Amino acid sequence: MVEVAERWETLMGPLDGTTRAIVSGRYVVPWTTQPTRRDWRPNHKSWEQDPKAKAALGGKLAEWIYLGIMGVVLGNVPNPPVTVSPFAAVDKTTAPFYRLVQDAREPNKGVAPWKVKYYTAGDLALMLDYGDILFALDLADAYHLAALPGCHTRRRMERWFEAGPDGSLTMVERQQLRIGCSSCDCSSFCDKSMAAVMLEGQLYRLEACHFGQATAGAPLAYLVNTVRRHFAGRTGGLGPAPRAWLGRGALPSVVWVDDTAWVVKGSRHGM
């Protein structure tokens, strides 16, 4: 997200101040109070004692670690995480049929409420006319689009070598943009320090919003609504205008957190 912040401003702009802060890597959780001591809690049985959940989500966890969404906490850091929240595996109706949830109820107690608008099926019905085409889009892992910079917003490029994708011994150089503090220079009590988890004895800090955090849906709502406004404001197109106040080619939509529904207006045809 941060790497394409300028394109967001160019294509979707002008952005409001909150959205601009999110896409530029300057989002901060709205804390009102913080704990006075460290709070480390074990994972729930739904994760620790369910091998099927671990097998289903193991690949996803590896992906998050590789992408930097979960940052490894080294063993000799001066300021270890303040809060280690339990992980829980809950049922999901689509593959991989499990969702990994951060049980952040304890740190959530100190977070100010951040309300966002949620739409209903009635709102979607008001957009529909005869002959319209409706399609749905699930934004997978969309919570992770909002990075948590932590103690500061400085950027650094990390580079490493890894084996080639074909499994050969040919080493390939990789690089990744990292934002904010790491576990080595963290001053403690920042957003990352308050969002740690432990898996198989290894500590990680969540470096982006995750399902279970009190305000994780708010940054996502700002990002999705910015995209919705962009498509609702399109003026070019051959079809009829969706509504009198919208131009040809506009795509009206509704959103439920990370589930979206879009309407393509069609001409009346048939009986």
Higher per-residue pLDDT: 93 or 24: 24
Beta carbons of 220 and 211 less than 8 angstroms apart: no
- Altogether, the residues listed in the chain come to a count of 271
CB burial string 97-110: b at 16+ within 10 A, e below: ebbbbbbbeebbeb
Residue 222 has pLDDT above 90, yes or no: yes
Mean pLDDT score across all residues of the chain: 87
pLDDT tens-digit series, residues 10-62: 888 889 999 999 999 999 999 999 888 899 999 999 999 999 999 999 999 99
Q: Over 70: is that where the pLDDT of 191 sits?
A: yes
pLDDT in tens, 98-149: 988 999 999 999 999 988 888 888 988 888 888 888 999 988 888 999 999 9
* Torsions phi, psi for 140 (to 5 deg): -65, 135
What confidence tens digit (pLDDT) does each residue in 236-265 have? 655 555 565 566 678 888 998 888 999 887
* SS3 at position 213: strand
